[in-house]
Amino acid sequence: MMDGAHGSHGCRDAPLLKERGQREVFCGLTAIVWLHRKMQDSFFLVVGSRTCAHLLQSAAGVMIFAEPRFGTAILEETDLAGMADAQAELDREVEKLLSRRSDIRRLFLVGSCPSEVIKLDLEKAAERLNAQFADVNVVNFSGSGIETTFTEGEDACLAAIIPGLPKTDARQLVVAGALPDVVHDQMLGLLEGLGIGPVTVLPTSKADDPAAIGPGTVFALTQPFLNETHAALVRRGARHIAAPFPFGEEGTTAWLRAIADEFGVSDDRFDAVTAAPRDRARRAVAQASAPLANRSVFFFPDSQLEIPLARFLTRECGMTALEIGQPYVQREIVGPDMALIGEGPVFSEGQDVDLQLDRAREARADLTVCGLGLANPLEAEGLTTKWAIELVFTPIHFYEQAGDLAGLFARPLRRRAILEGGASSGGIEPPSDARGLCHAGGAEVEA
Ligand code: SF4
């Protein structure tokens, strides 16, 4: 099952084109947009600038929310002169927030990249505040745009929680990665059907109901960007179940199979639980992927989902990958997906955006998957693009979403075909990406 299309290891050991130049990505603060929905008694306090506050507001949309779960403590440039004042100011803001909001059980102090924030020691601040507020767990992590791609915000958040989780020796499965509720429930249903348990999903929705971790824990990842989370779980004695990621019929089956093997599930039971959804997924992908067959795709590094998605597109949708760029390539995590990808594509890690733009222009793939900043200029040059960020804000995991996942990539190609065919606008779908990312609310806490 794990063999690649062209040899036993596919592209598992493929050389990487490593680039360390200018990058075009969102910063890790973006992850707060989906994390605050999953962690219902947590508050994300971004310690940042007005730019950070604006990013959050525009990424999360504007909605009046009675009890927002994120906000920004804005450090003005004048604070540079006195870090002690900035620490005291931060403490005052936290006190104000926690006295108003007794529902907050976990407070994240989220670092950002303005220089005045970098100089603030948020780890110390978290320690100090933890001592002061006994019933609130204060944790810090960085969402800075200097070091991170936007999905690394979730990775940093989960990795920051893990050291403080209780210890257990019990045999259990931990599944790490924030998923939309509908997908989360489908996953638990499949695991339950296979008789696998107990299962804990990270992040848990309540800080008071923490996952416990220890040497009896085996864990699976649902998101390929959880590099630090992986390392933090291993440090706690847990063991990773390496597998392709659960995108498409094949990826979902391989992911479940790896866990089922770990828990000794019989082939008969596995087939009984997965046969019907596998069949539905296969049929949905076949229907949705028709416009993708024999088309080429070029991935800019953005969401950190690129390698598993390239595996899905090349093996289940008939596409050819020309370049697969991913911000970081950790073979321990994405190796099983690489092993399934046939020889041919260039694998690039990191970015030097001008050089990569030259390659994309030369390749002129039928579909270019990239960040928002690059999409419009490339569209203007006649390339058809897909916004990578939409893949993170849309339910795409597991069997029932496999057809939708293929459809997300097919839509821009269909739109381009209609435009080039001169069809009336009545039949043209709006760019899928223009439908808005998410709508939530944020409070601004002025420090
Ligand atoms: S963390 Fe940095 S990149 Fe992100 S919004 Fe703030 S200033 Fe911009």
- Domain co-membership, 294 together with 426: yes
Per-residue pLDDT at 76: 67
149 Cβ closer than 6 Å to some ligand 1 atom: no
User: Mutation test of ligand 1: which of 74, 144, 444 has the most ligand atoms closer than 8 Å to its C-beta?
Assistant: 144
Most confident by average pLDDT, 8-17, 88-97, 305-314, 435-444: 305-314
Share of the chain above pLDDT 90, in %: 74
Q: What is the pLDDT of the chain when averaged over all its residues?
A: 89
Q: Which residue among 52, 141, 149, 152 is best mutated to probe the pocket of ligand 1, counting the most ligand atoms within 8 A of its Cβ? A: 52
Measured from the CB, is residue 52 less than 6 Å from ligand 1? yes
Range of the domain at 185: 172-276
Q: Above pLDDT 70, what percent of the chain?
A: 89
Model pLDDT, residue 432 = 39
Contact 366, 310 (CB under 8 A): no
CA of 47 to the centre of ligand 1 (A): 10
pLDDT tens for 131-149 read 999 999 999 999 998 877 8
- 192 and 123, same structural domain? no
The reply to whether 153 falls in a domain is no
Q: Is there a single domain that holds both residue 124 and residue 204?
A: no
Query: Tens digit of pLDDT for each residue in 171-230?
Result: 999 999 999 999 999 999 999 999 999 999 999 999 888 889 999 999 999 999 999 999
Instruction: Please name the amino acid found at residue 259.
Output: I
pLDDT 10s digits, 252-273: 999 999 999 999 999 999 999 9
Tokens of 363: 């390749």
Per-residue pLDDT, 447: 28
Does residue 48 have its Cβ closer than 6 Å to ligand 1?
yes
Total tally of structural domains belonging to the chain: 3
| Residue 4 falls inside a structural domain | no
- Write out pLDDT tens, residues 301-345: 999 999 999 999 999 999 999 999 999 999 999 999 999 999 999
Q: Is the peptide bond before 198 cis (omega within 30 degrees of 0)?
A: yes
Q: Which residues are CB-neighbours of 421 under 8 A, at least 6 positions away? A: none
Both 188 and 226 in one domain: the answer is yes
For residue 81, which amino acid is it? A
Rounded to the nearest angstrom, the distance between the alpha carbon of 29 and the centre of ligand 1 is 7
pLDDT category, 82, cuts 50, 70, 90?
low
In a domain, 249, yes or no: yes
53 lines ligand 1 (CB under 6 A): no
Residue 71 lies inside a defined structural domain of this protein: yes
Tell me the per-residue pLDDT of 39-79, one tens digit each, with 9 for 90 and over.
999 999 999 988 999 888 887 765 545 568 888 888 766 54
Note the pLDDT of residue 431.
39
CATH at 328: 3.40.50.1980
Over residues 426-446, the mean pLDDT reads 34
Q: In 269-287, which positions are buried (b, 16+ CB within 10 angstroms) versus exposed (e)?
A: ebeebbeebbeebbebbbe
Single residue among 148, 183, 201 that ends a domain in this structure: 148
Q: Is residue 61 part of a domain?
A: yes
Q: Which of 46, 49, 74, 77 to mutate to test the pocket of ligand 1 (most atoms within 8 A of CB)?
A: 49
Residues 87 and 96: their CA atoms lie apart, in Å, by: 14
Q: Are residues 92 and 218 in the same domain?
A: no
Same domain, 138 and 184: no
- 113 and 179 share a domain? no
Residue 315 contacts residue 340 (beta carbons within 8 Å): yes
Same domain for 295 and 418: yes
Query: Which positions ≥6 away from 423 have C-beta within 8 Å?
Result: none
Q: Do 262 and 349 have their domain in common?
A: no
Kindly list the strands in the beta sheet with 346-351, ordered across the sheet, starting from the edge strand earlier in the chain. 16-20, 346-351, 320-326, 296-299, 367-370, 385-387
Number of residues written out for the chain: 447
pLDDT of residue 436: 31
Q: What is the pLDDT of residue 65?
A: 56
Give ∠ CA 398-32-241 in degrees, rounded to 5.
Answer: 40
Q: Regarding predicted confidence, which is higher, 33 or 62?
A: 33
